Amino acid sequence: MEPEDTQLKEDIKTTVNYIKQHGVEFENKLLEDERFSFIKKDDPLHEYYTKLMNEPTDTVSGEDNDRKSEREIARPPDFLFSQYDTGISRRDMEVIKLTARYYAKDKSIVEQMISKDGEARLNFMNSSHPLHKTFTDFVAQYKRVYSFTGQEIKKSKRTILDNCFERTQYWEFEKDKDREHDKLVELCKIQFAAIPWDKFTQVAKFSIPEDTEIFEGSLDLEQMRLRRVQTGIKLFDSIKPTNEEEKIVSDQGKQKGGDSKGKKRKIRAVGETRLKKSKK
């Protein structure tokens, strides 16, 4: 029985492709997962699963190959009349739009108004003003509108419809890419879960001499890290003072100061020297 759900049908096809690539062990691993119940014989979808398993690989993956062979759809240009800064107050936006409209029609009128009255609210026309780009964008939009005639607008209806169709195609193409990416992530998780982590393979052997009595311990990563840090600290010991003469003078001063402190001096009481002289 073929499933009615399109997404479920795609999942079964993708699972079949992976099982054909990785063998029966991959199928046995998926039996433990309830999401792949169609692998079990008592499941209603097992017949459809078996049918796909018996078909050639090219037939099963034909739709995927056709999807991958589709040409890349170019990104459509941004909207010209709806891209502007939305963080501007309504009053300021009306002033900018009205000025841009007059400027696009005849910029000499606006320039005369600025030179005559020195309107401070029109400072956004200066290139250094934060709103200057918004102003120039609106000027370009109004110039584009004024450049079209009635006949050209009638002729451009077909172009507008074509652009809308191409934009819709691009949006659908982006949605398909997102779905493919999500599906690939899910399949990677399944493949990771299917790895027999409890089975190991012997890669190589190494022999220890029989006369060995003392074995070296395993590497202590924490001690290795500390040893490198200590080696780095020793680098500061090799740094010399910026002024060797000042260091020598300061060392000599310390030595002299140490000698003066080392000599013992006898402190006499007040008037002791005078009394000794009078006795003589």
For residue range 35-50, list pLDDT tens digits in order.
Answer: 777 788 788 777 888 8
Considering the domain boundaries, does residue 102 fall inside one? no
CA neighbor of 11 nearest in space, from 44, 46, 35, 40: 35
Considering the domain boundaries, does residue 146 fall inside one? no
Instruction: Record the tokens describing residue 76, joined without a space.
Output: 């459509």
Query: pLDDT band at residue 225, thresholds of 50, 70 and 90?
Result: low
Residue 154 to residue 223: CA distance in whole angstroms: 80
Residue 3 to residue 9: CA distance in whole angstroms: 6
CA neighbor of 183 nearest in space, from 48, 9, 37, 2: 9
**Percent of residues in the chain assigned helix, strand, coil, to nearest 5:** 65, 0, 35
Residue 53, CA distances (Å) to 18, 40, 50, 135 in order: 11, 13, 5, 64
For residue 180, pLDDT beyond 80: yes
Structural domains in the chain (count)? 1
185-210 tens-digit pLDDT: 888 888 888 777 787 777 788 777 77
Considering the domain boundaries, does residue 29 fall inside one? yes
Query: Is-above-0.75 flag for pTM?
Result: no
What is the predicted pLDDT for the residue at 233?
Answer: 46
Considering the domain boundaries, does residue 176 fall inside one? no
Residue 129 to residue 125: CA distance in whole angstroms: 7
Considering the domain boundaries, does residue 40 fall inside one? yes
Domain housing 35: 1-70+183-204
Residue 127, CA distances (Å) to 83, 130, 155 in order: 19, 8, 37
Considering the domain boundaries, does residue 36 fall inside one? yes
Q: Are 144 and 152 in contact (CB under 8 A)?
A: no
How far from the centroid of its chain's Cα atoms is residue 268's Cα? 83
